[in-house]
Structure 1
Amino acid sequence: MSELLERGASRTTWIRSRMPLLAATRRDFAERLPFAGRRVGMSLHVEPKTAVLLEVLAAGGAEIIATGNHGSTQDDIVAFLRDRGMTVFGRRDDTLAEHEANVASVVAARPDIILDNGADLAAGIVATGATDTVVGGTEETTSGGIRLRGELAGHVPFPVIVINDSPLKAIGENRHGVGQSVVESIMRITNLMIPGRRVVVAGYGWCGRGIAQYLRAFGARVAVAEIDEIKAFEAALDGYRVDELGNLAEWGELFITATGHPGIITDEVIERMPSGAVLANAGHFPWEIDTEALYRGAAAVTELDAAIERVDLPDGRELILLAGGRMVNLAGREPKGNSLEAMDLGFLLQSLSLERVATAAAALAPGAQPVPDDLEREIARRFVRALGANR
């Protein structure tokens, strides 16, 4: 066994042992084989928790054709999944063009069911006209849901269950999972002190709520930039300073984007930031921080660590960019992602939603839609029992 494969196997063994909801589902799927004869195409972060999800689907009879997301693929987990007979494309150091080719390879495999993250597979399938073999799929993220209901609206003739619409995912995975892991990852990457630090969180959706909550728990002084009036109202009543991002630029020392939309930290915002400010992104796509404008206007860019770049500006200021503007909790150094319990919940949502697509797609409407209510309630009951909250 190669060192890479051995490390991937060991890490997955630990993760698997702490995900009881998926363990029970794996046993159930192995008996019923709901994916027998089905090819599942996946575009999702390839890391140990995802490996456990794919094991569950494979136990249910699925053939797996998969790739990761740009910059977050973990090579030891790729080696482990390939050893388990799955077809997995990609490496951690893939260029964007290579990543796009990996996505195209999954699309070219003509999957029956897609497990999507950011709607990359759905967009590729629509663009190539390969919709005839797809019975349906799931979408993991806010960003993907926006694409399905925006640029792809009316073009996806099969059902796509948007996992991010689930209140269970919003509370368990986004607020608590992402909130904890983003703050933890920034601390691990930078080794900076959080107590007393002035932090600006752009976006007060569920991920932004969680990031702000965990920052404040560590003692940070937190401000929220939010353009939605209701969410801004909520942030204000939760006790945060609330203002436009441009007005907070001079105040902040650490800026974290969590909106799912492009062009949040722009040239105009960058021009007002103090020297030494740290920029991090928690959104799915690396487009919330305008890194092209940041690099283009730089006098010099220096890699200080695997996930830390110092950007020297012509006016003498320096800004610190983490993970190249990609998801800081998955593309940074020693990526851990969300907590095991949060992902046990989130991937149970994925598993049962994919089963619903595999067995009852004809009963679902085409296009983006929420997780069926009966699945939400069943999963909530299972999670509370597993957590021991009723003891």
Structure 2
Amino acid sequence: MTDTSLEATGAARVEWIRSRMPLLAAAREELSRTRPFDGRRIGMSLHIEPKTAVLLETLSAGGAEIVGTGNHGSTQDDVVAYLNAYASANGAAPLTLFGRRDDSLEQHHANVARVLDAEPDMLLDNGGDLAAGIVSRGVTASVIGGTEETTSGGDRLRSELAGAVPFPMIVINDSLLKAIGENKHAVGQSVVESFMRITNLMVPGRRFVVFGYGWCGRGVAHYLRALGGKVAVVEIDELKAFEAALDGFRVSTATDLAPWGDVFITATGHPGVLTLEAIELMHDGAVLANCGHFPWEIDVEGLRAVATGSREIIEAVERIDLPSGRHVVLLAGGRMFNLAGKEPKGNSLESMDLGFLLQTLSLERVALDAAALTPGAQPVPDDIDRTIARRMLAAMHASE
């Protein structure tokens, strides 16, 4: 497909998405008047798909120059082509995106480096890659602040980057509004939809093991059960495990549940939670999938090291043969599988309208009042959460 064809395809897809995101539409109109991002360059590392395009259009309307890249394995090439033509077609501030769907991990890291080379003064981060890069380069003084989308990135800011980030980073995933609307309900829905779309397997009667009972994990567990799945939970936090048990799920360890489950889905944000030891206890044909941000929750490297063979059966579905004569099926190479496969959908339009408005208003707060915020990771300001909750209730016609 030519770049022109890609651009046209991307434009058509974005048009539909844009028409169903009323919160961002209102914000785009407001920002076009107030222009809070004039003179600002936002460096971005975020999944690039049609909903992201509407976010970038909104920030651009507020005067932002944007230079960015997608996340590894989730970039949609038609959307990149559309966005790279957006500024010149609309007389907007420069908007430059790097990356392709088939980029290797090394190429992805090079794309992140190119974003940093552009010397952004604000960050729209996903997984902490940009913040970590800024710190490693020792150029933190040039950045006034930014946002971090994920739990995984928030964890990095509070652990390996603790005390090293002298500018405010608002962690969108700390928002209770996002936790309810996007993580529980949208991720739960998209994971189940993606499992069915990618594998064409049925949910009812199938045994699922969900790793993690945070907001994403509990959403996945509840949506699987709502469609008739038999669901068990692996959770090391006693309080979350207690909640899962009271919610009616079987709760046990990975090694105990490995022989029982048919499908294993990780949703923890932590590395190595689905180990080779547990995989070797699974029955023939067990399916392994990850919906966490980083592709490290399943021990894919260890699995490949012992495998006697592997082959992609269909897109995003890989058979990996084991020395025992059994095999397991790995979805999307261990990457976030609800943004994989043919025509990936990701989270629902309404949830991302909410989530990306959180991004927009949080970035606006940084642009206008960074000095009033504390350095390092911090939650979305309460007034922003409540403002968006009221707008979302109105958009949902919840009182009718």
The alignment status of 1:199 with 2:204, answered yes or no, reads: no
Q: Distance in 2 between matches of 1:369 and 1:333?
A: 36
Q: Report the AA paired with residue 277 of structure 2.
A: E
Structure 1 stretch displaced more, 125-134 or 43-52? 125-134
Distance in 1 of aligned mates of 2:139 and 2:14 = 33
Whole-angstrom distance in 2 between the partners of 1:126 and 1:333:
37
Paired residue for 1:217?
226
Measured in 1, the distance between the counterparts of 2:218 and 2:344 equals 21
For residues 223-251 of structure 1, what are the alpha-carbon distances to aligned partners after superposition, in whole Å with 9 as ceiling and x for unaligned? Answer: 00000000000000000000011110000
Paired amino acid for 1:238: D
How far the C-alpha of 1:271 sits from its partner, in A, is 1.0
How far apart, in 2, do the equivalents of 1:267 and 1:337 lie?
Answer: 28
Gaps in structure 2 of 5+ consecutive residues: 88-94
Write out per-residue CA displacement over residues 244-295 of structure 1, whole angstroms, 9 at most, x where no aligned residue. 1111000000000000000011111111111110000000000000101111
Tell me what 1:296 maps to: 305
Percent identity of equivalent pairs: 70
In structure 1, C-alpha distance between the alignment counterparts of 2:4 and 2:128, rounded to whole Å = 34
- Matches of 1:214 and 1:332, distance apart in 2: 20
Query: SS at the partner of 1:132?
Result: helix
Secondary structure in 2 aligned to 1:284? coil
Q: Which residue of 2 aligns with 1:53?
A: 55
Aligned residues: 391
Match of 2:75 in 1: 73
Matches of 1:231 and 1:100, distance apart in 2: 35
CA distance in 2 between counterparts of 1:242 and 1:252 reads 12
Amino acid at match of 1:274: H
- Give 2:256's aligned amino acid: N
CA distance, structure 2, for counterparts of residue 164 and residue 332 of structure 1: 25
1:319 matched residue in structure 2 = 328
Q: 1:71 corresponds to which letter in structure 2?
A: G
Corresponding residue to 2:284 among 275, 295, 298: 275
Query: How far apart are the structure 2 equivalents of 1:38 and 1:155?
Result: 23
Please name the residue that 2:238 is paired with. Answer: 229
1:332 Cα deviation after fit: 2.9
Gaps of 5+ in 1: none
User: Secondary structure at the residue paired with 1:111?
Assistant: coil
- 2:383 is equivalent to residue 374 of structure 1: yes
The C-alpha deviation readout for 1:49-102, integer Å capped at 9, x for no partner, is 000000000000000101000000000000000001311000000000000000
Residue type matched to 1:24 in 2?
A
- The CA distance in 2 between the partners of 1:333 and 1:305, in whole Å, is 10
Q: 1:249 aligns with which of 254, 258, 263?
A: 258
**What is the rounded CA distance, in whole Å, between the counterparts of 2:343 and 2:272 in structure 1?**
27
1:6 to 5, 8, 13: 8
* Distance of 1:174 and 1:333 partners within structure 2: 23
AA in 2 matched with 1:135: I
TM-score by length of 1: 0.99
> How far, CA to CA, are the matches of 2:221 and 2:341 in structure 1?
20
Partner of 1:189: 198
CA distance in 1, matches of 2:48, 2:295: 17
Counterpart of 1:22 in structure 2 is: 24
Question: Which residue pairs with 1:119 in the alignment?
Answer: 128
Normalised by the length of structure 2, the TM-score is 0.97
Counterpart of 2:79, as a letter, is: I
1:108 deviates by: 1.1
Alignment match of 1:158 (pick from 158, 164, 167) = 167
Partner of 1:131: 140
